[in-house]
Amino acid sequence: PYPVYEQLRDEAPAYWAEDANTWVLSRYDDVSAALAAPETFSSAKGIFPSPPGVDQSDLFLPMLIMTDPPRHAQLRALVSRAFTPRRIASMETSIRQTTDHLLGQINPGPWDFVSDFAGPLPAIVIAELVGVPADDREQFRAWSSTLVQANPIHGARDGLAAAASLYEYFAGFLAERRRTPRRDLISDLVHAEVEGERLTDDEVLGFCLLLLVAGHETTTNLLANSMAILTTRPQDRARMAHEPAVLASAIEELLRYDSPVQGLSRTLTRDITLHGETLHSGQTALLLFGSANRDHRAFANPDEFQVEREPGRQVAFGRGPHFCLGAALARMETRIALHALLNHTSFKWFADLPAAKRLHSGPIRGYASLPVQ
Ligand code: HEM
C-alpha cells in the first residue's frame, strides 16, 4: 500500500505541497480529467516537478512531450509517420534475439537484474529502432544510461554532457541519412511529410533524444518492478509462463500496481476551482499516476495484485493527447522479456529484496540495483 497517497486522496485531493511549490492531484478522476484537458493543464513549460523559476523548455530541445495542442497534434502526426505500429511489430524477432543474448551472457550465481538485463534491453531496442549501427551500440548505451540517471533539471553535469554527446552523435547521423536514406526510423523522420510540412532538424533530434528519455528508464523499471513483485508469487508466475492471455493482463496489472512513472506535472493556464481550492494560472499541478492507479474509486481492492484484473483503465502510460507513443513497444518488450525469464530453465526467479537499492528519482519508481539468481 501507499499510505501517503491514500491520505492525500481521502483528505486533500487537491493538495498544496508547500515545499515543492506545487499542487498535487491524487484521485483517478482528477488525474484523468487533467490529462484530457491540455488547454488548462499545459505541458509547454515542462513536465517534471522543478524548482520555481526553472523553465524546462530552456533546457530541452523542442520536444513532442512538452508541446501543447494544436502544434502537438501536428508534431505527433509527423512522428507517427515514422513510428508506426508496423515498424514496432517488425522488431519482435530482434527483441527476442537481444533478450536471449543478454540472458545467455549471464553466469550462474547471483547477478544484477538492472545492470545485466533490464537496463541494457530497452537501450539496445531503442538504438536498433533509431538505426544506430552495431559498432556504436556500446557507446550509445553508456550515454543513454548516464542521461537517464542524471536529472538535468538540477544541473547534473554528467547528464548534460551525455545529452550533448548524444545530440552531436545524432546530428552526424541525421546529416548522413539526409544524403543516403536507409530503412530506419531516423531516415523516415527526416522524410516524413504531412500536408506539405516536415520536421526540422532540431525536431528530429529532439524526438530521438525523447525516445531515450521516455523509453529507456521507464521500461527498465517496469521490468525491475515486475521482477520484485513476482518474486513472491510462484502461482501467478506459473500461469503467466504458459497462458499468453494471463501474461498480457498481468502486464497491465504490473503497470497499475507499481507504476514506473509515478507522476508528471502540468502548468495551469487559467484559475480553476477543485475540491474547494483555487488553483491559479501559472502554478503547477503534479498528477500522481501511481496514486490514481491505487484509487478505490476506480479499482476494486486496489492494493491487491490480481493477474487477471479487467485491463484497460490504468493510467501508467498517461491518457489523452500525450498518451505514451511507445506503449505498444513497451508492452511487447515486457511480454518477450518476462516470457523468456518465466520459461528459463535455470532461472530461479529469486530477487533479493533486502539487498536491492531503490532508485532516487522524482518521477520514476524502481530500482538502481536488484540482485537476483
Ligand atoms: C509519453 C509512460 C515506454 C515514448 C509517455 C507518458 C507516460 C509514459 C506516462 C505521458 C507523458 C505526459 O502525459 O506528459 C511510459 C511507461 C513506459 C514507456 C510507463 C514503459 C513501461 C516508452 C517507450 C517509448 C516511449 C518504450 C519509445 C521508445 C514516449 C513518447 C511520449 C511518451 C515519445 C510522448 C508522447 C507525446 O507527448 O505525444 N510515456 N512510457 N515510452 N512515451 Fe512513454
| Structure confidence at residue 60 (pLDDT) | 65
Nearest CA to 42 out of 278, 265, 267 is that of 267
Provide the domain count of the chain. 1
Grid coordinates in use for 284?
A: 503547477
pLDDT greater than 60 at residue 152: no
* 22-25 vs 284-287, strand pairing mode: parallel
Grid coordinates in use for 290?
A: 501511481
Who lines ligand 1 at CB under 6 A?
A: 35, 43, 47, 64-65, 76, 126, 210-211, 214-215, 218-219, 222, 260-261, 264, 316-318, 322, 324-326, 329-330
Model confidence band, residue 185 (pLDDT cutoffs 50, 70, 90): very high
Burial class (CB in 10 A: 0-12, 13-18, 19+), 104: exposed
Note whether 174 and 201 are within 8 A (CB): yes
Classify residue 317: in a domain, yes or no: yes
DSSP 159-181: HHHHHHHHHHHHHHHHHHHHHS-
| pLDDT, mean over the chain | 91
Query: pLDDT tens digit string along 203-221?
Result: 999 898 889 888 999 999 9
Query: pLDDT tens digit string along 310-327?
Result: 867 899 999 999 999 999
| Structure confidence at residue 292 (pLDDT) | 98
Write the CATH number for 157: 1.10.630.10
| Structure confidence at residue 163 (pLDDT) | 81
Classify residue 21: in a domain, yes or no: yes
Classify residue 122: in a domain, yes or no: yes
* For ligand 1, atom 37: residue with the closest CA: 65
Classify residue 372: in a domain, yes or no: no
Index of the ligand 1 atom closest to the CA of residue 259: 19
Q: What is the pTM of this model?
A: 0.95
Domain residues for 30? 3-366
CA-angle at 261, arms to 258 and 266, nearest 5°: 135
Model confidence band, residue 52 (pLDDT cutoffs 50, 70, 90): low
Nearest CA to 201 out of 229, 168, 243, 157 is that of 168
